[in-house]
Amino acid sequence: MQIPFLDLKLQYLSIQKEIIQEFNDVLSNTSYICGKKVKNFEEMFAKSHNVKYCVGTSSGTDSLHLAYWALGIGISSQIDKGYLKKEMEEVIVPVNTYIATSETISMVGAKPVFVDHQEDTFNIDPNAIEEKITPMTRAIVVVHLYGQPADLDPILKIANKYGLFVIEDCSQSHIAEYKGKRVGTFGNVGTFSFYPGKNLGAYGEAGAVITNDENLFQKMLRYRQHGVVEKYNHDIEGHNYRMEELQGAVLGVKIKYLNEWTEGRRRVASKYKELLANISEVKVPEEMTYAKHVYHLFEIRVSNRDKLASHLRARGVETGLHYPKPLHLQNAYKYRGYSEGNFPVAERVSKEILSLPIYSEMTDEQICYVVENIKEFFSSNSYSK
């Protein structure tokens, strides 16, 4: 049996008619960027989060950049204000995330300051944040990784104590909940990626930011489109972070099914957990009591990860690695002088995690096949350290 890591075709076939209809609309309306479909999606997305504002963007990376910029973090905002501080402003960010979360901090001329994660949630460790705060710290970025919300209450408390902004990177956690409320709505701003493989995915690049802060919303709206107030009248310098109309159309269709697809992922996750429970060598992801996990990824932990991955590959099961190397050990951050041992949890976990295939349409037969092959691995000779 062949089991891809992700199968986007099945989902597409289930909504094909609606998508083609929407595409025909866009093509005949000839409004290709930030038109009615984008506006409609922005309204639906804001409403579904019970927040006032949403700005559709060109990607999750651009959403993060837009949010940091509009919050006035880093050098660019100081240039806007006509002065330049000698020291760099700092932003606290988890060390195990996709590099988009941290590279955009550097892009606004601030310094990403890494923090280790909790062993059981893979999310930023609230107890490790305070020691990293300096007079230059401006914000904390919370990434709700793999679909599980981070423990927000203690983080918000720290942010409040030191007067810091909180940015929630929800790229992997659409409609996940913390204590019954959707993520992205706790901090100053929530940022989202709609990269095709995400739980809510476009058919190309797209993203969004959400907020209840009108001033921040107005700034993000301006920065999204070259700082315009009206055509060819530029209040400030900005950039081009506009969402394409075809992506707005796709997202407007897909958002209606997001609840159902999320329940599908949760079904797959609980079947995996049930079947993997008897394999003592495998640690399955835990859903925290405060969280509704949306299982963007299903991360297991095993001590012989690479061998298990090749065993599964040989039997037609594709797996993923999220992520094989924590950010502080990437060449991109070599200049910061980090070394092995600085973030022990992230370093240990990155050698043990393996992402199993997960998507809402996965059948019980497919899940059983994956688990049977994991079982076979641990009961055979291939399992030797």
Ligand X SMILES: Cc1ncc(COP(=O)(O)O)c(C=O)c1O
Residue whose C-beta lies closest to ligand X: 60
Beta bridge partners of 191: 169, 209
The smaller minimum CB distance to ligand X, of residues 53 and 98, is found at 98
The smaller minimum CB distance to ligand X, of residues 76 and 97, is found at 97
Task: Kindly state the smallest distance separating residue 322's Cβ from ligand X, in Å.
Answer: 8
The smaller minimum CB distance to ligand X, of residues 68 and 195, is found at 195
Binding-site ranges for ligand X (CB under 6 A): 59-61, 97-98, 100-101, 143, 169, 171-172, 193, 195, 207
Where do the H-state alpha helices sit in the chain? 8-29, 36-48, 60-70, 75-80, 100-107, 152-162, 214-224, 245-254, 258-276, 305-314, 344-350, 364-379
Sign of torsion over alpha carbons 142, 199, 241, 178: negative
Chain centroid to Cα 193, Å, comes to 6
Q: 209 Cβ partners below 8 Å, 6+ apart?
A: 54, 55, 57, 63, 66, 67, 189, 190, 191, 192, 220
Task: Kindly state the smallest distance separating residue 302's Cβ from ligand X, in Å.
Answer: 23
Interatomic CA distance for residues 22 and 285, integer angstroms: 38
Task: Kindly state the smallest distance separating residue 127's Cβ from ligand X, in Å.
Answer: 22
Helix axes 60-70, 100-107, angle to 10 degrees: 40
Task: Kindly state the smallest distance separating residue 207's Cβ from ligand X, in Å.
Answer: 5
Interatomic CA distance for residues 168 and 51, integer angstroms: 14
The smaller minimum CB distance to ligand X, of residues 89 and 205, is found at 205
Task: Kindly state the smallest distance separating residue 86's Cβ from ligand X, in Å.
Answer: 30
* Whether 342 contacts 328, CB under 8 Å: yes
Task: Kindly state the smallest distance separating residue 223's Cβ from ligand X, in Å.
Answer: 16
The smaller minimum CB distance to ligand X, of residues 126 and 190, is found at 190
Interatomic CA distance for residues 36 and 20, integer angstroms: 17
Task: Kindly state the smallest distance separating residue 62's Cβ from ligand X, in Å.
Answer: 7
Task: Kindly state the smallest distance separating residue 169's Cβ from ligand X, in Å.
Answer: 5
The smaller minimum CB distance to ligand X, of residues 61 and 360, is found at 61
Helix (H, G, I), strand (E, B) or coil at 375: helix
The smaller minimum CB distance to ligand X, of residues 262 and 373, is found at 262
The smaller minimum CB distance to ligand X, of residues 281 and 318, is found at 318
Helix (H, G, I), strand (E, B) or coil at 81: coil
